[in-house]
Chain A
Amino acid sequence: MHWLALQWLPDAGDAASARAPVTDGVPSHDTLAWWALGFTPHVVWLDEALLLEVSACERLWGGRRVLIQRVLQSDPAQAGVECARAATSLVALARLRCQPMCGTWVLDAMKEKTRQPARPMRPADLPVHTLTAARPHLKVLARLGCRTWGDVAALPGAGLARRFGPELGRALGVAFGYAPDAHAWITPPDRFEQSLELPERADSAPALLWSARRLLTALQHWLAARQRGVLALELAWTFDQRRLDGKALPPEDGITLRTAEGVQGMAHIQRLLAERLARTTLLAPARAIRLRVLETASWNPITASFLPEDQPRGDPLHVFVERVSARLSAGHVRTPILRADHRPESRQSWQPAERVLSQGWGRDKPQRVSITSEAVSPSPQPPDRVRGRLSPQRGEGATPLHTGLPDALSPTWLLREPQPLTVDAGQPCHQGQRLRLIAGPHRLETGWWSAALPDVADGAAAARDYFIAQSPAAELLWVYRERPTTSSSSSPSPSPSPHVPSPGGGRLAHEEPARERWFLQGLYA
């Protein structure tokens, strides 16, 4: 057994960070304990000190010296921390309490480890006041002439128990190693929820970020201790006022962040949070913030490799997509959905890439744990009886569905709204110049059910003849001529302005009974 006793000095923290406010000094007890769980599973708070039992994990960290050095250097408080060590917890604590006298390491504000010159005190030489169990009886013990633990241990055991109660003798037994050193080890809770009182009222959302960072640090330690990665979290803030401008305010407001793959590093979460907060307005000045984890996944760190070409260069895909979606809004980062349809405009549609990411996107799905019952996972659309047949196909396996026209003959640009073309002497014109029809027609007649099923059909009926046309500007265009159909006498068009301004329309009217309308729908470019 080997114990480290750590103590953070609030005054040392203040002195070290003169520019930072006091609240940034020492993190909460929970945060410190979760941080220590990153080194050893045996962590316990004993009075004012955090005790780590490290005998089982010394080899993992490369020896006792290295471990102590790591512990001191990764100190989350970034302030003065005192450390003492011993074979039992009580001796370590006692050595910490009389640290100016015995051998301890002190990490000063300059991050330099200085070793106190004196040798560690023997347990029997430790002063009585450093034993917690002896503190109520200090005066009596002093009158008995007991100044050290050895003096007390030399008293007859039965009389000691009769005079001072059983605790003192039991504590001495534990301290000298005669009795088991049992503790209720700290375990991280199943749910992460921490609140923080803001040092001053925050009037704008970005001002919350600085305080939220503190909670994110705690979250990082919690995740590391539980071997999880965060998928969704909620940052909420409570308002200072109940009413503002005569309107009642809700007790709190907040934002929810989601990421596609569990992360432990807080850099990505912090960037997402900054982007979201930058676009959020506070209803009223905020007084406190609360961070809650909604969903976590098991954490799979990247397999380390010594080969330089195996090192990933750059961010993973989900980090990129989420970061860009947060800045440009999710609708501006799109991935396609293919549908089985003959109409080009219905064959493909686009959806936010973030949504695809959260549904897996061709990767192994990690096992997810939803921590709160109200955490809503983005669910796909409910299966519809009719739409089931027209359901979008997505993912790696989605191949373009065969729809008659060979895909290789389709244009590379699609005009979402087909552009009406003017007609001159029966020939379509683009930008005032006549088009030369090169190949075609490719006839299409579909969507006839849209009149009967207006709620399921996602497009109008289409009866078209497609041509490849060449413009005088040497462009290859994909145009179509609308045909009057038997099913719909007034042929509907996807264009918002179906009336074509055609100069020669009146002349055409007597040539053809139903006036032809031409549209440009694609570019071979």
Chain B
Amino acid sequence: MRALSSLLSSIGASVWPADELLCVTDWVVATGHAPLDAELPGGGWPLGALVELLQPTPTAAMWPLLLPALAERVREPMSGAAQRSAAKSARVVVINPPHEPYLPALAAGGVPASRLLWLAADAPPAQLWATEQALRCQDVTAVVAWLPRVQMGELRRLQQAAAQTGALLFVLRPESSAAQVASPARVRLRVAAEVPAPHRPRLQLVGEGDGPHALSEAAHGLPALRVDLLKRRGPPLQRPLWLPVCSTAVWAVVQAARASARASETPTPEVRHALARIAVAA
């Protein structure tokens, strides 16, 4: 046993013990959420690999989770003449979204409107084909695709396409059909907005981070984004991560409104009136 441990220490980082997080330093982009970064190998979303998100409904919350990384990919200053010009024209491609993305909110999140391409395709083969074409484009640095009826082999094909250009690829699938099926994704998450149950120790896990989104007493009854890491290169994560369900500004308004409502404890019409002042102030 001592021989094994000495061997491991001599080999160093070239061996990955499967009960630890894989230590990769390149080819990731930070998620923008510290608790999630800490649990992902390399400290961020892997580039050139498939990241699969399972949603209860197609419209379930996901933009707050993805926006910081997308913004990073759009503004990323890269080295090399060709890549610098590519960064100037970096695009985020959204394929088959359930609704129309509202640009002011995305721009506030760091993805300017001019960098967004919306591909609408109805038939599953066309969606797949469009996703693959987007991944093969050198100027597309991130792809967010809703592929409700994608198959295992097709996902593998997408992963290979992403590996060629090193794009950030998110595939969003319905949880009902995909949760029990194996997937070639490098990272697999389940994302859903939930109201966390009060007075549970897991709230404190995120609450110990002192960011603006730390769940506090005032946030009870307000939704949060529950992220279950189903698959990663490392040991499975049993506990869920609680992340902000909306942008910082919205969260501030919602929390402030909540606090004042709690303070006044007045019937509905006056609550509305009190909130109006807070919204204007925010």
> Are B101 and A412 in contact (CB-based, < 8 A)?
yes
- A403-454 residues with Cβ-Cβ distance < 8 A to B are 406-416, 427, 437-442
B199 part of interface (Cβ distance < 8 Å)? no
> Are A320 and B139 in contact (CB-based, < 8 A)?
yes
Q: Min CB distance, A180 to chain B, in Å? A: 47
Cα distance, A398 to B60, chains bound together (Å) = 29
The count of residues in chain A whose C-beta lies closer than 8 Å to any C-beta of chain B is 69
B275 part of interface (Cβ distance < 8 Å)? yes
Asked if A315 meets B102 with Cβ closer than 8 Å, knowing A303-B81, A437-B272, A438-B254, the reply is no
> Are B79 and A409 in contact (CB-based, < 8 A)?
no
**Interface hit among A39-47, A285-293, A467-475:** A467-475
Chain A hits for B223, CB < 8 A: 470, 474-476
Cα distance, A302 to B100, chains bound together (Å) = 36
The count of residues in chain B whose C-beta lies closer than 8 Å to any C-beta of chain A is 77
Chain B hits for A439, CB < 8 A: 253-254, 256-257, 275, 278-279
Cα distance, A323 to B133, chains bound together (Å) = 8
Q: Min CB distance, B137 to chain A, in Å? A: 4
22 intermolecular pairs with C-beta atoms under 8 Å apart: A312-B82, A314-B135, A323-B133, A327-B129, A333-B120, A334-B117, A353-B117, A395-B114, A398-B114, A408-B105, A410-B105, A412-B67, A413-B63, A414-B99, A415-B100, A437-B275, A438-B254, A440-B276, A468-B250, A473-B193, A475-B193, A525-B62
Asked if A362 meets B105 with Cβ closer than 8 Å, knowing A313-B165, A439-B253, the reply is no
Cα distance, A302 to B85, chains bound together (Å) = 12
**Interface hit among A51-59, A71-79, A342-350:** A342-350
B130 part of interface (Cβ distance < 8 Å)? yes
Cα distance, A336 to B107, chains bound together (Å) = 12
Name which residue of chain A comes closest to B257, CB basis: A439
Name which residue of chain B comes closest to A318, CB basis: B139
> Are A328 and B126 in contact (CB-based, < 8 A)?
yes
A309 part of interface (Cβ distance < 8 Å)? yes
Q: A307-B80, A313-B164, A437-B272 are in contact. List 10 more A-B contacts (CB 8 A).
A: A314-B136, A317-B138, A328-B126, A412-B105, A439-B256, A441-B272, A467-B272, A475-B223, A524-B61, A525-B60
- A321-365 residues with Cβ-Cβ distance < 8 A to B are 321, 323-324, 327-328, 332-336, 338, 344, 347-348, 350, 353, 361-363
Cα distance, A469 to B35, chains bound together (Å) = 27
Asked if A408 meets B249 with Cβ closer than 8 Å, knowing A313-B138, A314-B164, A320-B134, the reply is yes
Cα distance, A521 to B164, chains bound together (Å) = 39
Cα distance, A501 to B74, chains bound together (Å) = 44
Asked if A305 meets B250 with Cβ closer than 8 Å, knowing A524-B61, A525-B193, the reply is no
Asked if A410 meets B133 with Cβ closer than 8 Å, knowing A307-B80, A468-B250, the reply is no
Q: Min CB distance, A94 to chain B, in Å? A: 51
